[in-house]
Structure 1
């Protein structure tokens, strides 16, 4: 067995389980506080524990077992999922991740350098042991043991005597706290006489302590020996789940331990039977396997297989080459005018298109891979700032190209932090404005016209336009007296170092971040829009292409060059007479509707066309414009290839492709062209409004 590969799978699956555990704790809508959710949480911890045991990671097993024990009590209704427990379970989940990182940092056969989890284990034990503090309000504790005594189970480590410690010292300390009773030794299977080491401590003890001492006081008796020994402490009226968990820790079979508790009256026969039944149910085949919860398939299903990312990338590249080769075959068939060959090529092209669509689907992942990181962050940051914030996630199942996921995380992180820190007001300010104390932050994703739109919306104070303009004037970014449209004014906040924050904070306010947002989104051939209403909130809208690999395109020609534009952004192609085009104002009349247009000949510095031209009407979001070309050549499948670094700042071109005849063609950046046309139109309207009426006569 390849243990290195098995360990890599274990680490990946365990991290996915940690992410699922965190999501279930932070999303009360998708995972309400009911038995199904608690079962999912318990199965998650149990699966990590079982997998870690396969590799012999005892420290990881012990910590996962402690989490599992607390979740077992949660499922049994002995404790409630309050804010304190959620915070503790999240901290425990983070510790699991640190332990997984420690495993990954060493060789397969090496012992990891485990992070210290003792403080967390102590806090988990409080939820496991202190039943009175964690009981469900209004419910009778039916599963409580009748004895008023502490029940102690001690298994000392072999080197105890050699380290200079005496078990009797622990008993003498306990005797000062109360009355000891039913003290009984427990002997493990002894080795052969010849192998017996006289200095080994093979002793174990079972006893009861009648005392009103606290848990910390009882634990102090074993302060110096607890690290190597197994110390089991059950307080008075401990729940039966705690008895079962301790019995499982003490040995493979719980029967001997149940007999010891029965002998000294720690459990009644009926309670012992219930502990036994609970252990049987937990040990049933499949009980530890994560099942279908919240509509998601179980991990044991065959619905998913794991594929190495490099293999998937190679497949996409092969499909791209296949698309180009199929286009070349189609072109040859058309040139030969062979009917049978054309029919055969058409069938092959249909199959290639299907393979292309299926291959691209493999690259698509839910945007929830990005969204799932923010509930935890919003919760922690809101507690840090003393704000009450409700995060709502919509459209998490919207799919996006895998290559965009990591590059989208950083921009979203900046925007969410900005909304939490600056956009949403403190509770007192919201009350004064007549708003609910709890601020609303929404993450939303959806498909629109061949694009993926991601929105970050808050109901906070909005963007103060006067402050933005004053800051821009102060820094010389805007000429004095120049009038800016609202979109142009709001776009100023994306300039490097631009900030209107009144005070710096650990989260934002230094003017760093929003310029990164715009730069990263534009590197994905996307754009950022801002809509803000003072006192009502702000919405940042990120619009991204659906995929970066292969598109359905439409080929046009300008002069002697071929160009390709995305087919999904096209509305229609129109043969426009010169009378319908206003060259001076760069507008075209399409059935009575005047639209701004971009002439590609003018954009590329070519001479005017001698013959008739065509206008391709395109759209992006809610904007429409015309693109004037020389000839319309028809649909093509375009495999987008990135341009070199020397063309990084080139506007209006998003990449290149290879046509079926083997010649290259540039892929037009339609959103950039539309924005160019709209900006020019807004500038023309503004100049017209600023021109005195006397100059227009």
Structure 2
């Protein structure tokens, strides 16, 4: 592996280990009686970062992580008590560790500047450890002799990649010294046949030692937990029989007699023990041996290959694959169209089979970009912990649907909006403990992030059980800023949408968390950039929910091909409910409504929207649905299903309403992809205004409106700015 790619891989894995350490520390803060597995996992995270950093001589990172590792080691050994100040210190150290990783990622050869904060954290860590910050720990005194002590025999054959993985054999022996006394040790070095085979990064060492300790087999084996899956570790209990040593000597290869003679000389075997005649007995694998002998290297390598279920792929390579698949989809559509023109049944059948395969490749390629939304959700426990602590509030974070998958390209773009929403919920939404108790609520507030799939979209809800939004305060602020026309009556959704205006804030005090009015407009812009919608639901005294609805993918969709005035348009297929002939009698041109079975629904005419001349021929209605809202879209022709590769519009057309992108048809023509949510909202807004005007006119003439076509439909739901 080339050094640059190896370094990039190190930083990726180091950040993963740091994030794991943070999540485990947060769980400790919630439940101090954490189990031993979590404590060991925390130690392993720090140890892995330190060991891997050694491969690249990142000395500052190694030194800092070493002190963290010492504290975590004392935690897992029960030498330190877990409390909130210690957890807070380790969280701060982990943050500092991530800053060091960022520094070395940008400038691997430059030392990390040890500022006052760096020195403060080191000093605080060293108060919790018996070791100095020299990088080497002082082995404790050997275990005292006792009748319970026995002499174990350990045979350590290290894996050739041990150094490359950042491990030092001496560190395991030092740790072993905590459990007892190393009576005898013999280090063997396997020399290569030629200088050409000499590689300083290859470990050719092995250790054989006698170890006197009262420890159990499992405790001794734990000293090698980081390398036991790759290296061969044989642990023979006290008073093991001659057959056990003989079998081990036979399995080691070479001359079994020389192995046995060496062990006899070291005192592992009595000098008068007879030589074996048929050393066929295997090393025992019962619990009495503590650690079964490692399987042969070839077998272990096969097991590791079979267990490798994941591989790392650069995002750029994945994007290139998606682009190629998109071009393949366009070519397949073109082939299908040309095959139909030939009227050759064999050709048509062959192309259909090809199209099905292309569709399968498309789905598989898109699935490669899908990742669990936990990549976003996992960032919030720490943020909620810190922000709620600064505000003196008790808040429980509930993450639901973290395994729901989302397009990888949306991860970073969605994180920032969610951060703003969560901060506002903690600061403005959830009350302090005293206020909640006075209202009969639990002192501990609840903040829930929930993700789920719904009608071809992914939905993310951010809910709290706080005070809810104050509509009166929102209206008052809007009137103060001159944002409300005189006499205009707003629905709840129209009131709530005011919070997304730039600089709009009802906060009485500005803090470093929120209140400046620079957050929610960013939320709206980012959601718009993802072709999404945001809806606000709130009940006074019970809490609020901000619901974000996003498309499943930003690359390729299943669409429905329609035409208007000879121009091709594509509607996302998963938002279409049905198609029907244009009803000539059950339609209200005044209020832009169509009677669909048992209800009036709004409609939008694409000819009117794009300022095209009226249609002379028949028209059709595509009934589209988005969430709980339904509307009709009037078109000239219904063509059929199509796979559309989404191409973004240029900056000149970003403000174009009702259009989310473009695609290339099989015949090479360009087609616009319609933005169904925006068209539905446009229809709802237009219908609402026309109904208000109609009712005002009738009321002005003393007429009470009763005709169903003058009734306003359901309250306006998802709002989207243009």
TM-score normalised according to structure 2 size = 0.74
* Residues 300 and 518 of structure 1, relative CA distance in 2, 3 Å threshold: farther
Count of residues in correspondence between the two structures: 577
Return the alpha-carbon distance in structure 1 between the equivalents of residues 394 and 111 of structure 2: 43
Q: 1:123-134 to 2 correspondence within 5 Å?
A: 123-128=124-129
* Residues 61 and 378 of structure 1, relative CA distance in 2, 3 Å threshold: same
- Residue 480 of structure 1 corresponds to 486
Q: 1:84-103 to 2 correspondence within 5 Å?
A: 84-103=85-104
TM-score normalised according to structure 1 size = 0.77
- The two structures, once aligned, show a CA RMSD in angstroms of 3.2
Choose the corresponding residue for 1:437, options 443, 446, 453: 443
Moved more, 46-55 or 449-458: 46-55
| CA offset digits 1:147-200 (Å, max 9, x no partner) | xxxxxx9xxxxxxxxxxxxxxxxxxxxxxxxxxxxxxxxxxxxxxxxxxxxxxx
Choose the corresponding residue for 1:367, options 373, 380, 384: 373
* Residues 299 and 417 of structure 1, relative CA distance in 2, 3 Å threshold: farther
- Residue 56 of structure 2 corresponds to 55
Give the C-alpha shift of residue 69 in structure 1.
3.5
The DSSP-based 3-state class of the residue aligned with 2:441 is coil
Q: 1:571-650 to 2 correspondence within 5 Å?
A: 571-650=577-656
Return the alpha-carbon distance in structure 2 between the equivalents of residues 253 and 282 of structure 1: 6
Tell whether 2:391 aligns with 1:390: no
Asked whether the equivalents of residues 401 and 450 of structure 2 are also in contact (C-alpha less than 8 Å), the reply is: yes
* Residues 310 and 253 of structure 1, relative CA distance in 2, 3 Å threshold: closer
Asked whether the equivalents of residues 139 and 178 of structure 2 are also in contact (C-alpha less than 8 Å), the reply is: no
Asked whether the equivalents of residues 43 and 288 of structure 1 are also in contact (C-alpha less than 8 Å), the reply is: no
- Residue 409 of structure 1 corresponds to 415
Tell whether 2:522 aligns with 1:516: yes
* Residues 121 and 300 of structure 1, relative CA distance in 2, 3 Å threshold: farther
Gaps of 5+ in 2: 144-168, 184-210, 231-303, 704-722
Asked whether the equivalents of residues 503 and 516 of structure 2 are also in contact (C-alpha less than 8 Å), the reply is: yes
Asked whether the equivalents of residues 579 and 621 of structure 2 are also in contact (C-alpha less than 8 Å), the reply is: yes
Choose the corresponding residue for 1:526, options 514, 520, 532: 532
Return the alpha-carbon distance in structure 1 between the equivalents of residues 691 and 80 of structure 2: 66
Choose the corresponding residue for 1:552, options 551, 558, 562: 558
Give the C-alpha shift of residue 6 in structure 1.
1.4
Moved more, 511-520 or 29-38: 29-38
| CA offset digits 1:338-392 (Å, max 9, x no partner) | 1000100000000000010111111112212222221111111111111111111
| CA offset digits 1:663-683 (Å, max 9, x no partner) | 001100000000011112222
Give the C-alpha shift of residue 512 in structure 1.
1.1
* Residues 250 and 441 of structure 1, relative CA distance in 2, 3 Å threshold: closer
Give the C-alpha shift of residue 507 in structure 1.
1.1
- Residue 10 of structure 2 corresponds to 10
| CA offset digits 1:455-496 (Å, max 9, x no partner) | 111111111111111111111100232211110011011111
The DSSP-based 3-state class of the residue aligned with 2:579 is strand
Give the C-alpha shift of residue 575 in structure 1.
1.5
Return the alpha-carbon distance in structure 1 between the equivalents of residues 103 and 347 of structure 2: 61
Moved more, 443-452 or 44-53: 44-53
Give the C-alpha shift of residue 434 in structure 1.
1.6
Return the alpha-carbon distance in structure 1 between the equivalents of residues 486 and 416 of structure 2: 35
Q: 1:317-396 to 2 correspondence within 5 Å?
A: 317-396=323-402
* Residues 32 and 615 of structure 1, relative CA distance in 2, 3 Å threshold: farther
Q: 1:130-145 to 2 correspondence within 5 Å?
A: none
Give the C-alpha shift of residue 429 in structure 1.
1.5
- Residue 301 of structure 2 corresponds to none
Return the alpha-carbon distance in structure 2 between the equivalents of residues 288 and 127 of structure 1: 32
Q: 1:174-253 to 2 correspondence within 5 Å?
A: none
Give the C-alpha shift of residue 19 in structure 1.
1.1
| CA offset digits 1:7-43 (Å, max 9, x no partner) | 2211111111111221233257999922333332232
| CA offset digits 1:250-277 (Å, max 9, x no partner) | 985865996699xxxxxxxx99643998
* Residues 466 and 565 of structure 1, relative CA distance in 2, 3 Å threshold: same
* Residues 696 and 639 of structure 1, relative CA distance in 2, 3 Å threshold: farther
Asked whether the equivalents of residues 46 and 65 of structure 2 are also in contact (C-alpha less than 8 Å), the reply is: yes
* Residues 104 and 447 of structure 1, relative CA distance in 2, 3 Å threshold: same
Give the C-alpha shift of residue 88 in structure 1.
2.1
* Residues 645 and 73 of structure 1, relative CA distance in 2, 3 Å threshold: same
Asked whether the equivalents of residues 528 and 540 of structure 1 are also in contact (C-alpha less than 8 Å), the reply is: yes
Give the C-alpha shift of residue 72 in structure 1.
3.4
The DSSP-based 3-state class of the residue aligned with 1:579 is coil
Asked whether the equivalents of residues 647 and 661 of structure 2 are also in contact (C-alpha less than 8 Å), the reply is: yes
Return the alpha-carbon distance in structure 2 between the equivalents of residues 87 and 41 of structure 1: 15
The DSSP-based 3-state class of the residue aligned with 1:578 is coil
Asked whether the equivalents of residues 557 and 631 of structure 1 are also in contact (C-alpha less than 8 Å), the reply is: yes
Asked whether the equivalents of residues 179 and 220 of structure 2 are also in contact (C-alpha less than 8 Å), the reply is: no
- Residue 164 of structure 2 corresponds to none
Return the alpha-carbon distance in structure 2 between the equivalents of residues 30 and 260 of structure 1: 38
Moved more, 385-394 or 112-121: 112-121
